[in-house]
Structure 1
Amino acid sequence: MRARTAPVVIGHRGAPGYRPEHTQGSYELAFQLGADAVEPDIVATKDGVLVLRHENEISGTTDVADRAEFADRRTTKEVDGVAQTGWFTEDFTWDELSTLRARERIPGLRQHSSTFDGHYPLLRLRDLLDLIDRAGEGSARPPGLVAELKHATYFEAAGYPLDELLLRDLADAGWTDRAGVVVESFERTVLVKLHDRGFRGRRVYLLEDAGAPADRVAALGSSAPGYDSDLSLRGLYALGSAAPSAADRVDGISVETSLVLSSGSVSMALFGEDDAADVGAVTSDLVDLAHSAGLAVFCWTLRPENAMLPAEFRTVAAGGTGADAAWGDWRRHFSILLHSGVDGVFADHPDLAVAVRDGR
């Protein structure tokens, strides 16, 4: 088992607890709040520009639905087997998308952030690389990048190979040999392609607690093995030290916080006054098993709102006025995860995770 060190805190889409996600304000605030790295979600435009959006369907995170000039772009598509209706980045050029303004994705929970609706334009990946460069000027440890490639198989079929476009942007920005670059995806195929194209950073495989990866489903249909096969002991070793080739081996896995906890229901009676007390009793063995296979472990996403916390950590009864948006016992929840042995956490409020990690 590897020696445990303090986990890195990754600003999940910047600092979206305070500013609309994937905006300049969100990323710059993440740097100011002490995030060690930031995580953009990456999708493509009609002209092959990589842009930062949670999904390629953008009606919930931009003002596109209010723009009469784009009304005819509304359509229905199937993305990774799910029918969606709205506006999609691959139907717009970057020049068109650059006229849109970002909006808070979950305004019911984050009313403060929604006051910044309309303030920020969308960003390209190259814009974020510039922001990171500026944030790191004069620093011995500039912020890192953890880039998530979204819907890689879908975009590949549409003629937009995200791995190739990513490496192009990294090269254009002088980031080919940049330390601290991590690429993650829910689809292992694109991580293999990155290796084969000479990517020199770390590759992390995102895993959910249910379902199957879209690349496997595209290749094997309903018989595709689910994520649970990757989370088994044999699956973890096949991703890590027992992988059949260097291309197949990944550097780490990234999982939902529920997979780090011992079950979906954690008895609060297990916790004492010490934040670190009894952590072993309420966390699963996944972290130790993954470490034994040579894999780093990250978890997502640390959020303080009652609606985002397991029931045992909510401090206001669900359904009450403002209850979902109120902050629950986030400090205890964060502390358990940060003491679980994970190598990094994704947080919507990076300052809260940094404060718990550093004992402040």
Structure 2
Amino acid sequence: MTGRYLSRRGFIAAATKTAAATAAGLAGTLLPAAATAGPARPLVFAHRGASALRPEHTLAAYAKAIADGADFIEPDLVSTKDGVLVARHEAFLAETTDVAKRPEFASRRVRRTIDGDTHEGWFVDDFTLAELKTLRAIERIPVSRPESASYDGMFQVVTFEEVIDFVAAQSATIGRVIGLVPELKHSTYFARAGLPLEERFMATLAAHEYTRRAPVEIQSFEVANLRLLREKLDKRTNLRLMQLVGIGPVKPSDVAAAGGSLTYAEMATPAGLREIARYADVFSPPTRALIPLAKDGRLAAPTSLASDARAAGLRLETWTFRPENRFIAADFRDGGGEHARNEAGSIAEMRRYLELGLDGFFTDDPALGVKAVAG
């Protein structure tokens, strides 16, 4: 499948050419993110925006990511009660909004299990968009990210369409194309709730000139939705499909719901990767599946996964690098404490993984990712 899609330079350059020619609503000329000649460099994906510095999935987080040089920004997508796609990392709202402090919504506190994880609190599909818009974003891990937490209460939850319009305007303003890497979250859960994501998602892509032309990589931890999107969107040369995987014997949610036996561990075998290449363009494992941690917390020897993915004809784009000591391998930590921000260590860790020949990677701090790529 990947053979019919363009290389990174061609992917962005083609999107740039068509966007500049057809997006009459955008001011200025859209230029490629990497206009210089030479080999393709790894893509820097802004994980939930610049989520190390601003509350995740807010326009502020996306603006900071774009200003810091991200090639793509990531809106994770879930559905409101009235069927609107909004940018949240999961259906559970308590960790990233101020809903727990809103007495008008106290009666909506429930206990629910989604994709095997049980939470007690408030869930996006119990709220209309109008209700969700009254909430304000907060930082998920304020002890580690006090700068981001200082923005608590300032920003709204945003819709997918608002994200697209914002990125299109930013692209026109700064003169380079910014890609989108949306993730369809909990597809099986939302389908069972009568709020299927896929048709509304495809309709939104088709309705916006920017997403008809600019680079878009669509991610999921599930399998059936990517297979559907491959069938429906196969002729769209500005799109790639990304299969996310976890580590070990865990099953994708759609596989588990259907009583299947396929696990992420099996998907990461050479045979599993060849099967992924039948419907997806990108294989995206967690970083520690590529270079695991030893017992002392330092990086061990790389696994064969990087070479296996390339042998299957797949791009390799890993998740997620974070700039605090608690998330960094012991090789690169400094003496600042587990919650301390460690820019040099994060850059060094990313560079170690880049030696594997990554095509792209997710980072909570795109500015550091850009420095890592620059060498």
TM-score, length-normalised on structure 2? 0.84
Task: Show CA shifts across 1:304-358 (max 9, x none).
Answer: 21111123332238xxxx4323427222211111222010010111000101211
Q: Distance in 2 between matches of 1:69 and 1:269?
A: 48
Matched, 1:228 2:244: no
Task: For residue 259 of structure 2, give the secondary structure of its aligned residue in structure 1.
Answer: helix
- Residue from 312, 333, 340 that aligns with 1:325: 340
C-alpha contact 2:298 2:329 (8 A) present in aligned 1: no
Query: 2: distance between equivalents of 1:269 and 1:194?
Result: 39
Shift of 1:175: 4.3
Deviation, 1:292, is 1.3
Measured in 2, the distance between the counterparts of 1:325 and 1:55 equals 26
Pair 1:126 & 2:145 matched: no
Residue type of the partner of 1:119?
Answer: M
Deviations 1:69-89 (A, max 9, x none): 111111011211332211000
Deviation of residue 58 (structure 1)? 0.5
Q: Report Cα offsets for 1:38-95 as digits up to 9, x if no partner.
A: 1111100000000011111110100000001111111011211332211000000000
RMSD (CA atoms): 2.2
Q: Does 1:259 align with 2:259?
A: no
Letter in 1 for 2:294: S
**Structure 1 segments (4+ residues) deviating >4 Å:** 266-270
Worse-matched range after superposition: 157-166 or 191-200: 191-200
Q: State the SS of the aligned residue for 2:213.
A: coil
Counterpart in the other structure of 1:212:
251
C-alpha separation in 1, matches of 2:168 and 2:367: 21
Partner of 1:137, secondary structure, is helix
Q: Deviations over 1:246-275 (max 9, x none)?
A: xxx2101111111121x32299999xxxxx
Identity %: 40
Q: Note if contact 1:266-1:312 (Cα within 8 Å) is conserved in structure 2.
A: no
Q: What displacement does 1:225 show? A: 2.2
1:267 and 1:159 map into 2 onto residues whose CA distance is 47
Aligned partners of 2:141 and 2:109: how far apart in 1?
21
| Runs (5+) with no aligned partner, structure 1 | 244-248, 271-280
Normalization by structure 1: what TM-score? 0.87
Following superposition of structure 1 onto structure 2, how do residues 261-276 of structure 1 map, counting pairs within 5 Å?
261=291, 263-265=292-294
Alpha-carbon displacement from aligned partner over 1:182-222 (angstroms, at most 9, x marks no partner): 1100001111121233363211100111211111100116x
Counterpart position of 1:294: 313
- Which of 348, 354, 368 matches 1:338? 354
- The residue correspondences of 1:129-168 to structure 2 (distance < 5 A) are 129-137=164-172, 141-168=176-203
8 Å contact kept, 1:108–1:325: no
Return the letter of the residue paired with 1:65.
A
Identify the match of residue 80 of structure 1 among 96, 115, 124: 115
5+ residue gaps, structure 2? 1-6, 8-37
Letter of the structure 1 residue corresponding to residue 285 of structure 2: V
The answer for the alignment partner of 1:353 in structure 2 is 369
Contact 1:42 1:125 in 2 (8 A): yes
Q: In structure 1, which of residues 218, 237, 252 is the aligned counterpart of residue 274 of structure 2?
A: 237
For 1:264, give the aligned amino acid: L
**2:52, 2:364 within 8 Å by CA — same for their partners in 1?**
yes
